[in-house]
Amino acid sequence: MKEQVIVWDWNGTLLNDAEVCLTTMNNMLQLRNLQTIDIGTYKEIFNFPVKEYYKKIGFDFQKESFEKLSVEFMDAYTMNLSTAYIVNGAKEVLGFLKSHKKENVIISAMKQDMLHHSIREKGIEHFFDDIKGIDDIYAASKTSIAIQYVKERGLSSEDILFIGDTIHDYEVANEIGSKCILIADGHQSEDRLKATGATVIPALTALLPYLFPKSL
């Protein structure tokens, strides 16, 4: 592979937190006597901006503001974040790429302080050359972070491979003009990811055989 900078999404791509998100949201729905959802439904409707996702699962912003609901979600999610685990094969993949002189960079829709804490807690901070999160909890977009990072580094689109697990990751990759690989083991279904036209692999463990077919 010719790309030298591997830009990673965090949630759902390297950190398996879909179930934590689902449980947190279902608890909020139950408190309001709203219909809960299963993981299959979650992967079919979760999207960015998350405000639209909140509407789809039944929250009424005439009764409660999106901002209030976001704070409630993040407070509960943060309490349970440590129960999320690193995706199978993550350490091996990150280590292999680093040993082959590739830069691992995270650009995430998670708040910067929480992102650093989560990565340190999982014991994989040493694999990364840069870690970039957002400044607020509303997670509208991480596109501007990616654009600014590419500009500051003076990178060209040919330098970068973007790896994520959502349609939004594909959109961010398009904004910076980079190649993108989506992993169908996170927050959105395989069918939705394939509909983008991006390269889609079933799990992170399939990444190295895809990138280095003659080396493994």
User: Domain residues of the chain, as ranges?
Assistant: 5-16+85-211, 18-83
**Which one-letter amino acid corresponds to residue 101?**
K
Yes or no: say if 135 and 160 are a contact pair by the CB < 8 Å rule.
Answer: no
Pairing of strands 160-164, 5-8: parallel
> In the predicted model, is pLDDT for residue 215 greater than 80?
no
3-class secondary structure, 8: strand
Give 81-105 as a 3 state SS string. Answer: HHHCEECCCHHHHHHHHHHCCCEEE
> Terminus-to-terminus CA distance in the chain, angstroms?
13
Q: Is the pTM value of this prediction over 0.85?
A: yes
3-class secondary structure, 38: coil
H or E element in which residue 16 lies: strand 15-16
> In the predicted model, is pLDDT for residue 111 greater than 90?
no
Q: Provide the percentage of residues in the chain whose pLDDT is more than 90.
A: 88
> In the predicted model, is pLDDT for residue 213 greater than 90?
no
Q: Which residue blocks in 38-141 are alpha helix, DSSP H?
A: 39-45, 50-56, 66-80, 90-99, 112-121
Q: Find out if CATH 3.90.1490.10 is the number for domain 5-16+85-211.
A: no
Specify the pLDDT at position 137.
52
